[in-house]
Each structure stands twice: as structure tokens, then as C-alpha cells.
Structure 1
Amino acid sequence: MVLLTLGTILLVQAATFATVSHYRKQFTEEVAVEFTATTIRTLRAALAEIPAEQRPGFVRTASQNQWHLWSRSLPSDASLEERRPARENRHDHRPPPNDIRNNLRTFVQALNRRLSDDTRVALSRGPEPRLYISMLPDADLDESRRNREWMVIPLDRIAPPVATPLIAVWLTGMGVFLLLAAAFSWHITRPLTRLAKAADQLAAGQPQRVTPSGPSETRVLGERFNAMLDTLEQSAAVQRTLLAGLPHDLKGPLSRMWLRIEMMEDATFKEGMLKDVQDMQRMVNQFIGFVRGSDPGSYQFAALDVNTWLEEQVAAWESTGSPVTLVRSSAQPLTLEADRLAMGRLLDNLITNALNHGKAPVEVALDATKDDAIITVSDHGPGISAERREEALRPFSRLDEARTLTGSVGLGLALADAIVKAHHGTLDLGQAPSGGLQVTITLPRLKVL
């Protein structure tokens, strides 16, 4: 918006300058030429009726001491102008002399054409150019230099004045106006820039309030944005309360069901009940894990050696006989500022999700860039189609019936995404080379000074 405002102002100033230049050119070519030609004809007609000795005084009086008569030969620095037709002169692109301004050169040529009654026009060069107009009809060129009377007109009296102080004031005013316009535009765009940044942070799971500022419209927009954040926070608080209370309320009934199942004598019925209770217990654990993982305030961040930690995590899964393998590890040591328990919960959820809904083996890899550590978890299952990957990250999202049969409530990937965002990272779903699901976690490395 600032660039648009400044560009508009500069365009207007350019148009104004072009208009002024056109006016000056029109004045030189039309008004000044016509006025000068008319004055010369009038003076020449009057001088024909005045005695020779009174002519110089008459010219000075009539021109207010600006013009005077020259009754001698032309000075050496004066040369007669060659008269050209208007059409021919229009296409004459010869550069003007260096000692006379272009607009004055145009004036002299136009005046020479206008005085078409054999009047001769001579022009002197130098820092103060003068115009010599013959007062008698044309004669032999050599005779005219010795005997003809010439009216001398200083050209600096003809050119339209350049109001340097006025232009300086005008340019200064425009500069001040440009600064005010830039400040006003910045005053408008700054709150919008802050609001856009806050919206990006909200999309990244890191909501931040804004300070309403600027004109009334942007202040209202900032207030509405803060009100939206309050509403979202209230909804998230209600969700956390429900998710935290539900598992707690189910613990008692589940414990009593375990006792009653143990007292049963029917082995077949007992086995089915045990499976159902285990699924219910797994759901309760998922609720508890999601509540803990979605509350960044409960995290305890510390330096974490990712290389060693990841090897230990994969070794623990391998020790249980699970088909989990660390296929690649970074050669350089990587350190993160992370919550060790949350990171363990993150990796366990991803591996469990791959084993339950994908296909073994599960492959874990660690790579590094200059600023990030990258952890990937891949399986050999059918994967998730590209159009449903965003849906898979939403809480309580279940993409197939298998999740219901395994006691999943659709919180595994949502919990993983919440933990990654709490660590200022990103989680992306893609397709592994094997065709299965590949989860890529990018976390910022700890800057070691």
C-alpha cells in the first residue's frame, strides 16, 4: 500500500511536470512569438514617421528601456538566421548551439518565420544572447551589415521566467507530503502486518494476541481477532476438561470390571470381556495422553541428544520383538530443546500407528540440515491418500473401520501433531518409497554458542 501511494503521487508529479513543460513550450512558440512579432511591426511602423535622431529614445521609452536601436554594422558574434519553411524546420533535428537554450532557439526560429516580409533576423552567441531585427526592407547582405538599423532585443527578456524559489518551495512541499503519505500508509499497514503474522502463528498452533492500533477499522479488526482467540481458548479449555474428566471417571468402573472378570469361570466369555476392557483401557490412555500432549504448559524443556535418544527408543521396541528398525542416523550430533517424555510419547504414537494401521516393518530415520533435525517414520502399508492426509491430523479422525476394531479413537496423529507444534516444529504426511505412510517431523536444532 505504501508503494502504491508513493507511486501514485510520483505519477501525479510527473504529469504536473509534463504539463508545465508543455505550457512553457507553448508560451515560447505561440504567445511570446506573436507578441514580439506584433510589437516589432508596430514599432517599425511608428519609427517610419519619427525623425532619425528621435528613434533611439522612442524605442527605449516604448520598450521600458529593454530594447534599443543599433545603427552600426552587426557585431562579429552575430550571424544572420536562415529562414526555413515551417514544415522543413519541424524535421530539422540539428542540435542547437551550446551557448543558447533550446527553448530560445525555438523562439528565434519561429520569430524568423513569422516575420516573413523580408525582415532579417540575426542572433548573437555568448552568455547573454541578443536578437537583432532589421527595421528596413531587405537589401544587399553586405550593405545591410553597414547601413541597416537593427532593433536589439535581449533574449533573457523573452524567455518565460523560471521561478526557482517557487519551484524549491513546491518540491519541498511535495517532499513533506510524500513523507506524510508514507507515514500514514505505514500507520495503516503496520496493524495489518501484525494481524497477518498473528494469523500465521495461530495456524501454526501458537496463538498470540495483537494490540489493536491504527485507524478505527484496524482497531476493530484487532479487537475481533482477540475475541476470536478468547473463544478458541474457551473451547479448547472445555475440550481439555472433558477429555481429562472422562478418563478419570472411567477408571473406577474399569477397575471393578477387571475384578469381576477375574472372578468369572467361563473361559470363553472371560476372554472376550478381557479384550473389550483392554480396548476401553487403551481408549482411556489415549484420552489421557492427548490431554497431556496438547497442553504445552506442562512440558519441561531441556537439551536432548537426539542421536542417542532415538537409538534408545528404537532399541526398546526391538527388544520386545517388534519389527522396528533404525535404518539411518545422522553422522553429526544433533541437539534439540525438547521435553523428553513428550518426545517419547510422540515416537511411540507414530510407531504404534504404523504397526496397527500400516504394515511391518516400520523404518525410522534421522537426518539433519543446517538448522533442523528431521525424523521420519515409514511403514509398508497402503498409506493415506493425499486428499485425506489433512483430515488424518484432526482429533477423533478415523479413516477406516480397522481403527474402531483396534480401540482407536483417532487421537494418535493429532497428538503427534500437537507435540511437534509445541516444540515449534512441523509434521508432514507423505508416501514412503515402499508405498506406505511416511511421517516427517522437522524440529529446530538447539543453537550452541
Structure 2
Amino acid sequence: MRARLILLILGAVLVAQAATFAAIEHYRRNYLDTVAPDLMATTIRTLRAAIAQIPEENRADFVSEASHGEWRFESRALPARARRTEAERRADAGPHRPPREGGPPGFAPTGRMPPDFRPFEFRAPPDGRPPPREPPRWAEDDPRSGMRGLIRRLNQQLGEGTRVALSRGPEPALYISLSSTLGQEDGFTQRAWLVISLERISPGVTTPLLVIWLGGLGVILLIAAGFSWHITRPMTSLAVAADQLAAGKPQRVEPSGPHETRVLGERFNAMLDALDASDAVRRTLLAGLPHDLKGPLSRMRLRTEMADDPALKEGLRKDAQDMQHIVDQFIGYVRGTDPAAYHFDPMDLGDWLSERIHAWKGTGTAVELAAVPSQELRVNGDAVALARMVDNLIENALQHGAPPVDIRLTQRGANAVIQVRDHGPGISPDRRYEALQPFARLDPARSRTGNVGLGLALVDAIARAHGGRIALEQADSGGLQVDVELPLIA
């Protein structure tokens, strides 16, 4: 969920940035096609009028000062690295005007030329017409690739006498004529040129700008990660708390995050409070019922012994024993489900289990300790609760299975496993979950044997209280196999 939120936020940011860039590009192109040419034309007319009143030797300084050093003033012929518009070349050349030798029509390399000067070369066909000349093709990231609209707009604004050209050199520039004079030596036109760097009009994407954009994207990613963590952290805590509740170790959560997750955390805590209250009522009822039955049971035993009829006496004695067994089951379950009743201490599970099985064998019960590992398996456990657990497993195997009862102690990873197997019919897989529920009676005849369905439920509760779990499997003998896993300690 956290990764999806980050991707969602990142996608939204990228879409927003793409839309913003598209809007900026659209505005920039409209600006170049309309507003920029109008402003430039107005500025050029103003400069042209001002230059006419300024001595020739001061004109360059005047243009530089007026434009804050962004524009230049040059008085010379159009350099070889500049290109005039197609319309002006046709206007200058005329329908059948042959080109001048050494340069394009209307141009002469007078004055001081730059080192990279190369005159235009025209080869006239036999009929004297100049060959058609295709406009140069620049790269898409070259500022000159999108300047045709600007040039057309400037030509319209400045009139027929103005020449607009683009530089061919490595430094793209726009050349606009301000005035023209007649050369003294060869009669070619000498013009005053206003030189505007195209980087001032259409700046390219520079490295600092790219670094800033990537840095901003990284900051947005960090903010998105923090935002998603702020949203998903309460959900993660709630999921952990739900797992702990399923494991029998309920823990409260701290409501945090957005309003929805805070409400969810409060509802979860309210559910835990309701479960605690319900469990407290259940424990009270289960604990109170055996206590209330002790008095009637004692009186019943006394009257049984006073009865004269041997058959009646035996029947009453059997009923009293069954009732006492039910009372003992209630008391054991109440203690097994009460966390405060446990007292944990480190213990060697192998030695303890051997002593417990030896006590059972001393009563003549068909119980065998089939396997015990040679290494020491230490757990942090309550010896009284574990004894109650093993006793319940053996009694359950003897009453509802068939002897002999085989018990094994093994190690599985970081857990010690107590396996109890009988030779009875077992439990079908679709009813094993039901067998672990309190008061579950899989055999209707169990109600006549003094059982209330708390045996395996008590085993499960004790195993969970020790941080372990139980699993019901099918034994090789066909009977029921109960695996109790308990975590080992170092």
C-alpha cells in the first residue's frame, strides 16, 4: 500500500508537471509569435530613431547601455554565417538577376570580417536564374528551429527596408538592420546591424535547471514517502495488533495518522475492551459455577453413603464423580485462560516430561515415552500449567482414542514439539478446527461421560500462553496426533 501511494503521488506530480510544461511551452510560443516581435519592433524603431541622432562612433556604446549589455551594435555587411529570409533574397535577386561574383546579391565583404567568414556560393543555371535554396535544418533543441514566426512578424512590423537574418555559427544570433549607408570603394551596401543573442529570447535547458528539476523531484519523492508512511504506519500497527489478537495476545494500538485511521484505531481498542469485558464475565461465570456446585456435591456424597440400597448408592456415587469431573474441567479452563495465573520459569522440557510420563506409567496406564532427544531442550514455562496440558492430552487420548498412547519430544527449528498419538479413529480434517473450540463435543456420547468439550480448548489456551501453538494431525496408526510447539530459549 505504501508503494502504491508513492507511485500515485509521483504519477500525479509528473502529470501536473507535464501539464505545466505544456502550458509554459504554449505560452512561450505565443509570446515569441506575438508579444515578443511587437516589443522588439517597437524597441528597434526607437533605437533606429535614436541612433540617427547619435554620432557613429558612440552608437555601439549607446545600444549596449540601453539594452543593459544584452544587445550589440555592429556596422558592417551581413556576415557569412548569417542567413536572410527567403522572401528578402527573392526581392533582392529579382526574377532574372544574376548573382554577384564572390557573394550573394546585394552583399559585399566590406569592412572587418570575422575569422569564420565564408561567402555564400551560388551556381547559376544556363538560363541565369539562381538555384532555389532550401532553408537550413537545425536540431530540435537549437533555438533557431522555432524562429521563423518571429522573423516573419518582425519583417511585417519593421517594413520592407529591414533585413532580418539568423546566424550560422556556433553562437546563434538574430541580425536586424537599423540603417544602411553606401560603401565608398565598391558601392555595396553597408548596414548598421542590431545583434540579439537567441539565448536571450529562447534559452535552452541548462545543466543547473536540470539539476534543480531533479532535486525538486527528489524532494517531492521524499515528501510522498513521508506522507505515505504517515498514512500506512497506523494501518501496519493495526495489522500487527490483529495478528497478536489472533495469537491470543491482544494489545492496544495508538490511534494516529489521518482521521479515518484514528477512528479505526479507536474502534479496534473499543473492540478489545468489549472482548476483555466478555472474557471477564465468562471467567466469572466459569469460576463461580464450580464454587456453587461444591456444596451440593458434598451433601450428595454424604447422602449417597447413607443410602441402604447398594445399586442406588453406586449410581449416585458415579453421578457425583461425573459432576466433580465437570467442575474440575471448568476450574482448569478458567485457570488456563487467565494470564495472571501463570508463573514462568526456565525448565528442561526433556527431564520434566520424563518424570511426568513416569508418574502416569506408575498408575498402570498404557502410556509410552517413545522418543526424547539427547540434547537439552529448555523452555520458559509454567510447570503446573504444562502438567495440566499433558494430563488433558493423555486423558483425551485414553477416553476418545485407544491405547497405547505414544508421546515423543522432538526439536523443530527453534521450537520444542511434544507429540501425543493414540490408536483410535482420529478426527476428520474438516472438524479439527471445531475440536479446538470451547464446549465443542464432536461425539454426542461425550455428554454421558462427564465431558463438556474443554479438553483440547484448554490445551490450546495453555500452548498460546507459552507463545506456542497446537496442531491436530493424522497419526501413522490412524489415530489422532496432537503436536504442541513451544519456543525454546537459549
Task: State TM-score, norm by structure 1.
Answer: 0.75
Contact 2:165 2:174 in 1 (8 A): no
Note if 1:13 corresponds to 2:9. Answer: no
Equivalences for 1:421-436 in 2 at 5 Å?
421-436=464-479
Could you tell which deviates more after superposition, 69-78 or 315-324?
Answer: 69-78
- Is the alpha carbon distance of 1:76 and 1:378 closer, same or farther for their aligned partners in structure 2, counting shifts above 3 Å? farther
Q: Residue type matched to 2:9 in 1?
A: I
Structure 1: how far apart are the matches of 2:118 and 2:476? 90
2:330: which partner in 1? Answer: 287
Are 2:419 and 1:376 equivalent residues in the alignment? yes
**Which AA in structure 1 matches 2:468?**
G
Secondary structure in 2 aligned to 1:343? helix
Cα displacement (A) at 1:299: 1.5
Match of 1:404 in 2: 447
Specify the SS of the correspondent of 1:201. Answer: helix
2:164–2:175 CA contact under 8 A, matched in 1:
no
Q: Deviations over 1:48-78 (max 9, x none)?
A: xx99x999969x9699652545634534446
Query: Given the alignment of the two structures, is residue 107 of structure 1 paired with residue 146 of structure 2, yes or no?
Result: yes
Relative to 1, partners in 2 of residues 1:306 and 1:55: Cα closer, same or farther, differing over 3 Å?
same
Higher mean Cα deviation, 392-401 or 379-388?
Answer: 379-388
1:71 aligns with 2:116: no
Q: Secondary structure at the match of 1:238?
A: helix
CA distance in 2, matches of 1:29, 1:257: 105
Which AA in structure 2 matches 1:71? R
Bigger CA drift: 360-369 or 17-26?
17-26
Question: What letter matches 1:107 in structure 2?
Answer: G
CA–CA separation in structure 2 for the residues paired with 1:113 and 1:55: 29
Q: 1:107 to 1:330 in 2, by over 3 A?
A: farther
AA aligned opposite 2:10: L
The answer on 1:358 being equivalent to 2:363 is no
Q: Distance in 2 between matches of 1:14 and 1:181?
A: 13
| Residue 378 (structure 1) shift | 2.3
Structure 1 gaps of 5+ residues are: 97-101, 136-142
The aligned counterpart of 2:382 is: 339
**Cα pair distance change 1:15/1:253, threshold 3 Å:** closer
Q: Is the 8 A contact 1:383 1:436 kept in 2?
A: yes
* 2:168 aligned residue (119, 123, 135): 123
Q: Give the letter aligned to residue 32 of structure 2.
A: A
Deviation at 1:295, TM superposition (A): 1.5
Q: Deviations over 1:258-294 (max 9, x none)?
A: 3443444544444333332222221121112112222
> Does residue 439 in structure 1 map to residue 478 in structure 2?
no
Report deviation, 1:443.
1.4
2:339 aligned residue: 296
2:282 matched to 1:239? yes
Q: Secondary structure at the match of 1:438?
A: strand
User: Counterpart in 1 of 2:364?
Assistant: 321
Q: Find the aligned partners of 2:237 and 2:296 in 1 and give their Cα distance.
A: 50
Q: Tell me how far apart the structure 2 counterparts of residues 68 and 396 of structure 1 sit (CA, whole Å).
A: 103
- Which amino acid in 1 is paired with 2:169? S
SS in 2 for 1:304: strand
Residues 194 and 13 (structure 1), Cα distance of their counterparts in 2 relative to 1, 3 Å cut: closer
What is the match of residue 198 of structure 1?
Answer: 241
5 Å-filtered alignment, 1:167-316, equals 185-316=228-359
421-430 or 74-83, which deviates more: 74-83
Q: Tell me, yes or no, if the aligned pair for 2:401 and 2:424 is still in contact at 8 Å.
A: yes
* Deviation for aligned residue 1:347: 0.9
Query: Matches of 2:487 and 2:66 in 1, distance apart?
Result: 85
* Alignment CA distance shift 1:411-1:15 (3 Å): same
Instruction: Classify 1:165/1:272 alpha carbon distance in 2 versus 1 (closer, same or farther; 3 Å).
Output: same
Q: Structure 2 counterpart of 1:344, which letter?
A: A
Please list the CA deviations of residues 67-115 of structure 1 after superposition, one character each: whole Å capped at 9, or x if unmatched: 54563453444679996579xx6xx9xx78xxxxx24253368889999
Counterpart AA for 1:204? A
Alignment partners' CA distance in 2, 1:125 and 1:305: 87
- Measured at CA, do residues 228 and 152 of structure 1 come closer, stay the same or move farther in structure 2, by a change above 3 Å? closer
Deviation at 1:298, TM superposition (A): 1.6
Q: Report SS of the residue matched to 1:375.
A: strand
Distance 1:187 1:31, change over 3 A: closer
Give the 3-state SS of the residue equivalent to 2:483 in structure 1.
strand
- Quote the offset at 1:362 in angstroms: 2.3
Q: Distance in 2 between matches of 1:441 and 1:229?
A: 27
The one-letter amino acid of 2:143's match is L
Q: Unpaired segments of 5 or more residues in structure 2?
A: 81-113, 121-131, 179-185
The residue type paired with residue 328 of structure 1 is A
User: Where do residues 46-61 of structure 1 align in structure 2 (5 Å cutoff)?
Assistant: none
By how many angstroms is 1:306 displaced?
A: 0.8
1:196 partner SS: helix
- Between 412-421 and 25-34, report the one with greater CA deviation: 25-34
Q: TM-score, normalised by structure 2?
A: 0.69
2:168 partner SS: strand
Q: Distance between the aligned counterparts of 1:310 and 1:84, measured in 2?
A: 100
Larger radius of gyration: 2
Residue 218 of structure 1 deviates from its aligned partner by 4.2
Q: Is the 8 A contact 2:329 2:454 kept in 1?
A: yes
Asked whether the equivalents of residues 430 and 438 of structure 1 are also in contact (C-alpha less than 8 Å), the reply is: yes
Asked whether the equivalents of residues 143 and 204 of structure 2 are also in contact (C-alpha less than 8 Å), the reply is no
CA deviations 1:364-394 (Å, max 9, x no partner) are 2222234221222222323223332222112
Local SS of the residue matching 1:124: coil
Q: What letter matches 2:12 in structure 1? A: V
Deviation at 1:186, TM superposition (A): 4.3
Q: Which amino acid aligns with 1:276?
A: D
- The answer to whether the Cα contact below 8 Å between 1:79 and 1:124 also exists between their aligned partners in 2 is no
* Residues 151 and 375 of structure 1, relative CA distance in 2, 3 Å threshold: same
Aligned to 1:139: none
Work out whether residues 307 and 334 of structure 1, in 8 Å CA contact, stay in contact via their aligned partners in 2. Answer: yes
| Aligned residues of 1:80 and 1:123 also touching (Cα < 8 A) | no
Tell me: CA distance 1:35–1:24, structure 2 relative to 1, closer, same or farther (3 Å): same
Aligned residues: 424
Q: Which shifted more, 77-86 or 297-306? A: 77-86
AA partner of residue 396 (structure 1): F
